Structure 1
Amino acid sequence: MFSKTIFKQTLKTNVKLWLIFTIIMSVLCAVLIAVFDASTLSSMSEMVKDTPLASLLGSTTFLGMLAQTFYSIHGVILPLIFVIMTANSLIAAQVDRGSMAYLLSTPIKRSTVVRTQAIYLVLSLVAMFVILTIVGVLSVHTFQSDIDLNISDLIMLNVGLFLLMFATSSISFLFSCIFNLSKNSLAFGAGIPLAFFLFEMMGKVDSSLEGFKYLSLNSLFDTNAIINNDIYVIQFILLGAVGIVLYLIGIRVFKEKDLPL
């Protein structure tokens, strides 16, 4: 079911990459919180009014600013890159360079190997977003203590972003399990998530392109619904369901496919 030895080795191999992205995201989040100024943001809103940039700038409230910047752009693209790189390295890259053949020559079952790698990817995201949430909450109390803010909304933004990355990571992991070559794994495991991100951005920038966002998994992470207390639980459930199903399919595919051993 799970191998502590493989998990420790995977952790040792990937911890530097995880640290880099976690630190960058945490620092960026803290900086955006620290520099928030409602009057400055209002002036910027006036400058870009009636332009496509107005929809990206969004609300002049504190959470509105965070939702339309960090939780829609920076906080999506950074963990997305981490997920793409890590998912490919866990399975496809090891098959491609032959190290998977060595690993499977041991008494450890193939099913144990792929489950352990999947567990690592999910837990690395959990740890990343727990730290990001703590940094965000502490930064609000430190730099924006005078703002009337419902901390639970900030926490739910992080929960929603985690679920989006969980679902996205399942796509990259699935294609890492399907393909034996890194170039093929990355073509789909990176191409589809990046297309989802671009479709979502296109739908926000131009109303005539709004239909594109409905082709994107990212549209299920509705930051406006969270900060306005609208319905978002169903979207969260769908993201979680997509992630679980695709991880299970990826594990099954790897268990049953032919490998160049």
Structure 2
Amino acid sequence: MSLYKRMIQLHAMSIVGFTAVSVLYMTLIIWIFPTFADKMDVMNELISGMPAGFIQAFGLEAGMGSLGEFLSSKYYDMIFIIILSIYSIMITNQLISQFIDRGSMAYLLATPYSRIKIALLHFSVFLTGLLTIMVVTTAIGIWAQTVIVTSDNQMDVQAFLEVNVMGTLLFFALGSLNFLLSCLLNDEKKALGAASLVVFLMYGFDIIAKLTEKLSWLEYATLFSFFQASDILRSGSAPVYSYFWLIVIGIAALSMSLWIFKKRDLPL
């Protein structure tokens, strides 16, 4: 546990920073919602004139008549993805490949901990930060809508909780894939570049799949297709298969990471 505490201390400022940015954007969007609430008819009329693919790509099918729909379009469909993607890329890269590249991994392997335990402890740091960001953001979001938004315009709390649970699972799976790349590559810059490329391509595939039916098959090549915030906030629930596949992919990628880290020869 002393290694875990030390790693948490090393990344504490990053976790606090990402949490603060997420909370700031969430609160700001909820705060400005009442200003737009009386003008939603005009905004929905503008949305209805947009191309169908664009509307679907950004989850605007139901317009922006409620706080949930407003949050979906202004926060979850882009800002949330950007914040958590940067977090998952940066932290997972710093947990393994950075230690190998800078020669610090030799000191860790000289401790009584096994390779599997070292990798698990490192991944638990990423997971702790992810849970911190999501729990604090969710709690502040519920509090902010209670204080700022009138009861008639408030979103369903259960649906809001489900969106954030699904977001947590999405970045658990994505973080596991990034962690796998970190365990595969010795060079810190290469691992960072590979993880960034994977996230960028997946997000791009998700947008393209929604823009045109001819390329809708691309949704099978991205994890982001499992996270449809607008649908969840509108219907109040997410498909069971989304939970299943995000958990399976996350556990599979993490298991493969542990196996690779245990078996491979490290340049120490």
Given the two structures, how large is their TM-score scaled by the length of structure 1? 0.91
Question: Which among 1, 8, 12 is matched to residue 9 of structure 2?
Answer: 12
1:142 maps to 147
Superposition deviation, residue 108 in structure 1: 2.6
2:120 maps to 115
Matched-pair identity in %: 26
Q: 1:99 to 1:231 in 2, by over 3 A?
A: closer
Q: 1:27 to 1:231 in 2, by over 3 A?
A: closer
Q: Is the 8 A contact 1:225 1:232 kept in 2?
A: no
Separation in structure 2 between the aligned mates of residue 96 and residue 242 of structure 1, nearest angstrom:
27
Written as runs of structure 1 = structure 2, the 5 A alignment for 1:1-261 is 4-36=1-33, 37-52=36-51, 53-55=54-56, 56=58, 58=60, 59-60=63-64, 61-146=66-151, 147-206=153-212, 209-227=215-233, 228-229=235-236, 232-261=239-268
DSSP 3-state at the match of 1:31: helix
Q: Please, which moves more after superposition, 78-87 or 45-54? A: 45-54
Q: Is the 8 A contact 2:59 2:72 kept in 1?
A: no
Superposition deviation, residue 84 in structure 1: 0.2
Q: Is the 8 A contact 1:45 1:57 kept in 2?
A: no
Instruction: List, as ranges, runs of 4+ consecutive aligned residues in structure 1 with deviation greater than 6 Å.
Output: none
Q: How many residues align?
A: 258
Give CA deviations for 1:94-130 in whole Å, capped at 9, x if unaligned. 1001011122123332222111001111121111101
Separation in structure 2 between the aligned mates of residue 30 and residue 231 of structure 1, nearest angstrom:
24
Superposition deviation, residue 17 in structure 1: 1.1
Superposition deviation, residue 205 in structure 1: 4.4
Task: In structure 2, list runs of 5 or more residues that go unmatched.
Answer: none
| TM-align CA RMSD | 1.9
Superposition deviation, residue 248 in structure 1: 1.2
Amino acid in structure 2 at the alignment position of 1:137: I
Q: Please, which moves more after superposition, 38-47 or 156-165? A: 38-47
Q: Is the 8 A contact 1:171 1:193 kept in 2?
A: no
Task: In structure 1, list runs of 5 or more residues that go unmatched.
Answer: none
Q: Is the 8 A contact 2:170 2:227 kept in 1?
A: yes
Q: Is the 8 A contact 2:97 2:188 kept in 1?
A: yes
